Amino acid sequence: MLVGTDGARRMLGVVTDGSLRNALPPRDGFRELPVTAATASNHDRPVPLVSSPSSRADRALRLCSVAVAAWLFGTVVPVVHYARETGGVAPVIAHVFAAVVVVVVLIRDVRAPRLLRDWLPLASVPFVYLEARWPIAGLGRPHADAAIHAWELAIFPSDPSRALAVRFHSAPLSEVLHAAYLSYYALIYLPPLVLHVRGRREEFAETNLALAVAFAMCFTSFLVFPVDGPRFMTGAAAAPDGPIRTLTLALLNGASTRGTAFPSLHVAASVVASACALRFVRPLGYGLLPITVALMIATVYGGFHYAVDVWAGVLVGAVSLCAVRLLWTQIKPSGP
């Protein structure tokens, strides 16, 4: 049946307005029903302000949040066991609260602000590190410092975590190296921050994913193969005193977690962040590279790690970077 021009315009105008039912006469024997929320078409429903995450970057960042949730839920039992042993409920409350926050963000992913979704995995790193002492102690695995120290003596002619500060006993050198050690959080947060500010979302997501893989490998090792490090076993190295060294030792005494020495998380994450900066923001990468090398030396010079921990951290960083390059090609955007 042919429709006149006026009729066609009327039909198109009505369809555009989403009220097609008013354009057609009611059929005999049928009563028109009012349009309600249950009967409205998809075109009549309000469109959410934040679109459903479907890009490669969104999916990669969601994987990072899933990894955080997996750690928090996977360590609930040892945290509960630790709380029973110590008679306190604060660890359980803090742990469960963090897990609920991550899950709520994942479930309400569409409505959660993009800034929260983007930064949740990296923002959770300090908390996960500090609370790692609970599941490590709760799981009760024997600490492997004796084995690591034996490897150290088998590989190196002397004990680097004891001998390096004595061999190069220089106050300026000590202060520079301890400053590099303190720059850890700046090293791992600065490359993602620069990429995020510049709107380079895919590079931001790939950097986050590489860091998440490194963190996952390190924290898993801490749980099943805890190593305290030389500072807990024999004290800090005999490095020259100075204000930066004093600040470093004070922070470590207040916030360091036993059992997190092997592999060195400082080294693994710094290697990943610097390598990603060299790929995506080359001038920044050139600036971070010497700081990363100094941090690697500082971990041994200050007696915070065995040299074996450092090389294991480098290996974890390299494996994480290679794994993410392969994983990134498998992450496909979903939706239109």
- Flag whether pLDDT at 21 surpasses 50: no
- Flag whether pLDDT at 61 surpasses 50: yes
pTM for this prediction:
0.82
Q: Which of 296, 24, 329, 315 is nearest to 160 (CA)?
A: 296
Give the start-to-end residue ranges of the domains of the chain.
5-44, 56-330
Looking at every residue in the chain, the average pLDDT score rounds to 85
Please tell me the chain's helix, strand, coil percentages from 3-state DSSP, rounded to the nearest 5: 70, 0, 30
Strand-pairing partners, residue 260, are 227
pLDDT for 138-152, tens place per residue? Answer: 999 999 999 999 999
Residue 132 corresponds to which amino acid? A
Distant-in-sequence, close-in-space partners of 73: CB < 8 Å, separation ≥ 6: 99
Distant-in-sequence, close-in-space partners of 231: CB < 8 Å, separation ≥ 6: 252, 256, 302, 303, 304
Q: What separation in angstroms does the CA of 6 have from each of 24, 65, 273?
A: 14, 55, 64
Paired tokens of 4:
């006149």
Paired tokens of 55:
């890009």
Q: Percentage of the chain surpassing pLDDT 90? A: 72
- For residues 104 and 14, give the distance between their C-alpha atoms in angstroms, rounded to a whole number: 40
Mean of pLDDT values over 177-197: 96
What angle is formed at CA 218 by the lines to CA 295 and CA 327, rounded to 5 degrees? 105
Paired tokens of 56:
């490669």
Looking at per-residue pLDDT, the higher value among 86 and 336 belongs to 86
Q: Among 36-45, 138-147, 283-292, which is the least confidently predicted range?
A: 36-45
160 in Cβ contact with 152 (< 8 Å): yes
Mean of pLDDT values over 212-222: 97
43 in Cβ contact with 18 (< 8 Å): yes
How confident is the model at residue 336, as a pLDDT?
52
Q: Which of 64, 179, 199 is nearest to 119 (CA)?
A: 64
- For residues 218 and 188, give the distance between their C-alpha atoms in angstroms, rounded to a whole number: 15
Tell me phi and psi for residue 50, to 5 degrees: -110, 125
pLDDT for 156-165, tens place per residue? Answer: 888 899 999 9
- For residues 291 and 297, give the distance between their C-alpha atoms in angstroms, rounded to a whole number: 10
